[in-house]
Structure formats: C-alpha cells, structure tokens
Structure 1
Amino acid sequence: MNLHLVTDRSLTLGRPLLDIIRAAVAGGTSLVQLREKDCSTREFVELGQAVASLLQGYKIPLIINDRVDVALAIGAQGVHIGQSDMPYPQARAILGSQAIIGLSVETPEQALAANLFDVDYLGLSPVFATTTKMDLPPQLGLQGVQEIRAVSRHQLIAIGGINSDNAENVITAGAHGLAVVSAICAASDPKNAAMELCKKIAVAKAKAVAA
C-alpha cells in the first residue's frame, strides 16, 4: 500500500470523481480512501457503491473515511478512523479481522498508544501544512515522522501537504507510504501525478536499501 488516494470532490476541477480515481489507479495508486464530509448518508452510500464497482475490476481496496456504517453498507474493504471517531476495538469488532483499518495519529504519544492495536497502518497527519482539511494540529514535519517511526510498530502512511517535490524526503524520514489529496485530485493529469509519486517512493526506498 505505497500510495493512497484520499478523495475530495471539491478539488477535481469539475471532473467526475470516478474519472480521477480511474486515472490514479492506472498511475499506480494502491488504495483509495473515499472521504466525504458534507454529503448525506444516502449520497455517500451511492457514491461508495459506484467507486467500489469501479475498483473491483482493478482489485484495488476501497476504504471509507470515518463511517463504519457506510463501509458495511457497500462492502468496502475497510475504514480509516481518526482519534475522535469510533474507537478502534469497536470498529474491528464490527468489521471483522479481515478489514483494513487505518488510524490517524498526530503525535508520537498517539503512535505509541496505537502499538496496543492491530491496526493495518497509521496515518501520520499532517506532515506539512495543507488546506484540504480544516482544524488540523501543528504539522509534524520530517522530524515528527522520524520520531513516530522510532516508537511505532506499524506501517506508517504520511499525509498532509505531500507532493512530488517532497515525497522522497518523507519516505526517507521513515514513512512506508504516502497518502495524497490535491496532488492527484487537483492535478491536470492525475495518472501522471500518481506515476510520479510512485516513482519518488520507489527511489527513496531503493536508496534506503542501498544505504
């Protein structure tokens, strides 16, 4: 799960979300997180069903941001939850052992506490300043990524202000993968944007192995 696409329909420049997702997957995106903060449950379910149908053909996992009920309703592969969402133990009990569950952490202390849970990955947020999500805590920066890597036993997926210019540095700092919103959703060529990010991830990991 090297590259996650986190969706935001407000950033697609008027293009259909399914077209953005299709292009991102063609470019190497390995997981899609459907994030919808302002739509009704019915609309969320209908959109989720459409995305799930699209991704099924690619065998790419779909996870739902926050909403365990929506994930269940559409048969998504899992959820991504934050510190104020449904607690991990309850989400795991509802979704089962095979579900992909990611948990957002904003500090090394939260990452250390998450060692008690069998989450599939931790979302480190925000690494850099971003305008795609409001009311965020202070940015972690590369040092924050390093500090969390030092205390965590989990796969670390970094998000927040990440693009092709800084992607390699974030992996080098200790992230195992990246999650992006505007870097793909708002890109003029989402497929090429995803390919470039995957290339940066691969280069950083190759350097780490060679070091």
Structure 2
Amino acid sequence: MKPPLPRLLLIADRFTDPRRADVARRAVAAGVPWVQLRDHEVDAGTFARAAEALVPVLQAENPALLLSINTHLEVARRLGLGLHVGWRGPGVAEARQQLGPDALLGYSAHNPAAAQQAAMQGADYVLFSPVFAPISKPAVPAAGLAALAAVCQTVTIPVLALGGITPGRVPACLNQGAYGVAVVSAILEASDPERTVQQFLHSLSLQEQPQRNSHDAA
C-alpha cells in the first residue's frame, strides 16, 4: 500500500530557469512536501540535465520530499521519481506498464470521464484544472467548483485542484471533495514564497483530510 500523498503540490513550471529553481528550493525549505518538475519549453536533454542538477538540491532541503517529473518518462525512471502525464507524453496505461506498480503516477484531467479513465488505467491521482482562472493565464475560462466536485465524485483516487489556487481558495476546493491543491504561480511568482507556503499549509490544516478521496482507498 502506498503512503498517503501530501496535500500541497508545487508544480515547478520552467524549473530550468535558475531563478525559478531557487524559488522551488526556498519553497521546499519552507515546508512544501511535494514538487513536480515541469518545463514544456525546453528539449529533452536540457530538461534531463536540469532535473538531475536540481533534484539533489531539493532533497538536501527535505530528504522526505516527494518528487515527480512531468512528461519525461525516462528521466523519472532514471532518477527513481514519480511521473505525471496528460495529453503530452505517454498515456497512463503505457506509463504504468513502463514504470511498474510501485511508481507514483498522476494524470491531468479536465472532465470526469478523463479522470475515470485515468484511474482505471492505473493513475494514483489526478489534477483537475482550471478550477479558477489561472493566475498566469487570466483569460483562460475557469471550470468552476461544481466541475471540481463532479470529478471528485467520479473517482476514488485523490483529486488535486489546480488553476488559480490561492490560500484563501483552499477551503472551497476541499469542501467540493478535493484531496488537496496544486499550485504554480501563487508560489513561484510570490514576493515572499516562504510566507505564501506557510499560508497554504495553514489553510490545508484548517480542515480534516476528506476520507472519501483518500489515497489509501485507491
């Protein structure tokens, strides 16, 4: 049985930028328990080299840190880390077959049917987005809290809310059945990342973990 997932995930988008990599490091030092390395703008070699350099830096801040790689299956396998996929990269079934039953595997879902299919194919969790308009892309239409609730009611694996998440919006997401939240710009672009991380952790601590969507039930 896999251990419960952390309830706060930092998606370190464009982590190959040294400045953003350092913000991720500071966030881990401040208490972020789970980081996903993501950069869709660079080639595979650049991604791999940057990941291999950053992973030990983050692990030095927190040896218990959970780490995931977005899209790049070979990097995840080589470093012994989790993998997150969506419309980019391998499908869930292929990734599960390649990585084996013990690897952490997640999927980006935008509707209940996609979430259900991912769960059936072996995903351990799904990210649902955008719940709110993304901070970095305010023109992107928000799916809304009702759509989040529909996904949470469809699957028994954990659902993490993504898109425009702020500390103040955490309770609303959890009230719809979300297991936790995934954050990008709210932390990476914060003037005080450490304080923002503490605000997220405080918001998550105010409510008990939803039992219906527990990772142990997966």
Question: What interval of TM-score do these two structures reach, taking the shorter chain for normalisation?
Answer: 0.7 to 0.9
3-state SS of 2:39 partner:
coil
Aligned to 2:166: 163
Distance 1:143 1:176 in 2: 15
TM (norm. structure 1) is 0.86
Q: 1:27 to 1:56 in 2, by over 3 A?
A: closer
Are the equivalent residues in 2 in contact too, given 1:3–1:28 (CA < 8 A)?
no
Q: 1:135 to 1:88 in 2, by over 3 A?
A: farther
Higher relative contact order (CA 8 A, sep 6+): 1
Aligned to 1:37: 40
Distance 1:134 1:91 in 2: 32
Which string of whole-angstrom CA distances, capped at 9 and with x for unpartnered residues, describes residues 24-61 of structure 1? 11222111111111112221111101221123331212
Aligned to 2:193: 190
Which string of whole-angstrom CA distances, capped at 9 and with x for unpartnered residues, describes residues 120-173 of structure 1? 11111111111546996x532111111111111111111111011212211111
1:8 pairs with 2:28: no
Alignment partner for residue 93 of structure 2, among 64, 80, 89? 89
Are the equivalent residues in 2 in contact too, given 1:172–1:205 (CA < 8 A)?
no
Distance 1:85 1:15 in 2: 24
Gaps of 5+ in 2: 1-5, 212-218
Aligned to 1:113: 117
3-state SS of 1:200 partner:
helix
The Cα shift of 1:78 comes to 1.2
Gaps of 5+ in 1: none
3-state SS of 1:5 partner:
strand
Q: 1:39 to 1:84 in 2, by over 3 A?
A: closer
Q: 1:190 to 1:66 in 2, by over 3 A?
A: same
3-state SS of 1:97 partner:
coil
3-state SS of 1:204 partner:
coil
More displaced stretch, 181-190 vs 115-124 = 115-124
C-alpha RMSD over aligned residues = 2.5
Are the equivalent residues in 1 in contact too, given 2:135–2:186 (CA < 8 A)?
no
Which string of whole-angstrom CA distances, capped at 9 and with x for unpartnered residues, describes residues 85-138 of structure 1? 3111111121222211111110112222233133111111111111546996x5
Distance 1:132 1:72 in 2: 30
Equivalent pairs, count = 204
TM (norm. structure 2) is 0.84
Distance 1:131 1:21 in 2: 18
**How do 1:128-167 residues align onto structure 2 when only pairs under 5 Å count?**
128-130=132-134, 132=136, 138-167=141-170
The Cα shift of 1:15 comes to 6.6
1:72 pairs with 2:77: yes
3-state SS of 1:49 partner:
helix
Distance 1:155 1:64 in 2: 18
Q: 1:15 to 1:47 in 2, by over 3 A?
A: closer
